């Protein structure tokens, strides 16, 4: 299985009372898929998943399973325990689970490989490793990623390094056969695609879906000059969208567009400052030629 294309890790919209707004979630899912996204991610970091109850997580997956089933789109679901993985068995739209490298404990590369081998043995669906060392505290060498790729059920990686170093170049230019590398650092999307990333999982693609798709298409078509210009614009947009803890600014922009009823986030996150939202809207308008003006 290859997970090419741009996948959007959806936010969790909340209503005025603070409950999950499932209707708005469904609308957002349809919007990004209509814009051309290859698939969705449920219960990722962008979804504020640690603040959701078990019942809310189940409701979110139910809604997005339905949307992806009707649209023929891929759905990845964040899951990090055997119990969470086994709950995906009956979800036909779920093509893989997105599993985070164990955070905080820093188990070392041998521990990470053993952990994913155990998850793979318990999982009814394939696994995509979520490697984001600035959040987990655990870095992985290319050698470790190749060991993970050798586990039968591990089909890819959301690769979100803080910088493109020698390990990143090695992995992106020479990935394991049949193993999908998805760019996961929004600001580094263009160079990661240029080096060979198969696609991406991008929170920024909530608000400029078509442009991110165009960037990926330009690289895959060998249109380097066009890709460089668009990539720089999208880099600036991504930086503005991540100027405060994710997804506060993204929610602020979606609210400014009239696509969600409010920009509410749950503690420990706080709403983004108006100046951050305005800056992101400015970059968005510059990238999309004003297509998404404020409502």
Q: How many CA atoms lie within 13 A of 36 on its CB side?
A: 15
- Grouping H, G, I as helix, E, B as strand and the rest as coil, residue 146 is helix
Asked whether the bond before 247 is cis by omega within 30 degrees of 0, the reply is yes
Catalytic residues: 130, 158
- Grouping H, G, I as helix, E, B as strand and the rest as coil, residue 20 is strand
Helices 108-122 and 142-149 pack at an angle, to 10 degrees, of 20
The CA distance from 175 to 192, in Å, is 12
Phi, psi of 287 (to 5 degrees): -75, -35
Q: Which residues contact 268 (CB under 8 A, 6 or more apart)?
A: none
The CA distance from 277 to 6, in Å, is 24
171, 148 contact by CB (below 8 A): no
Could you give the dihedral angle defined by the CA atoms of residues 288, 3, 54 and 31, in that order, rounded to the nearest 10 degrees?
30
């Amino acid at each position: 299985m290859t997970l090419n294309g741009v996948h959007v890790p959806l936010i969790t919209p909340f209503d005025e009372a603070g409950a999950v707004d499932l209707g708005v979630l469904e609308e957002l899912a349809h919007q990004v898929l209509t814009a051309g996204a290859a698939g969705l991610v449920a219960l990722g970091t962008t979804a504020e998943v640690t603040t959701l109850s078990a019942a809310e997580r189940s409701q979110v997956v139910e809604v997005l399973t339905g949307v992806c089933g009707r649209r023929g789109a891929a759905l990845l679901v964040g899951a990090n325990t055997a119990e969470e993985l086994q709950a995906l068995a009956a979800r036909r739209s779920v093509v893989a689970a997105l599993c985070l490298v164990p955070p905080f404990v820093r188990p070392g590369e041998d521990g990470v490989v053993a952990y994913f081998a155990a998850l793979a043995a318990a999982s009814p669906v394939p696994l995509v490793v979520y490697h984001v060392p600035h959040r987990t505290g655990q870095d992985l060498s290319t050698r470790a990623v190749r060991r993970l790729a050798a586990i039968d059920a591990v089909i890819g990686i959301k690769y979100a390094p803080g910088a493109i170093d020698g390990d990143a170049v090695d992995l992106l230019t020479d990935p394991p056969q049949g193993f999908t590398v998805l760019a996961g650092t929004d600001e580094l999307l263009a160079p990661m695609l240029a080096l060979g990333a198969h696609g991406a999982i991008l929170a920024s693609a909530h608000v400029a879906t078509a442009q991110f798709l165009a960037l990926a298409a330009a690289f895959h078509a060998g249109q380097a000059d066009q890709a460089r210009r668009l990539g720089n614009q999208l880099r600036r947009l991504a930086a503005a969208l991540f100027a405060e803890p994710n997804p506060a600014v993204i929610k602020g922009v979606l609210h400014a567009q009239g696509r969600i009823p409010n920009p509410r986030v749950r503690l420990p996150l706080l709403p983004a400052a108006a100046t951050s939202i305005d800056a992101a809207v400015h970059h968005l308008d510059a990238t999309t030629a004003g297509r998404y003006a404020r409502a």
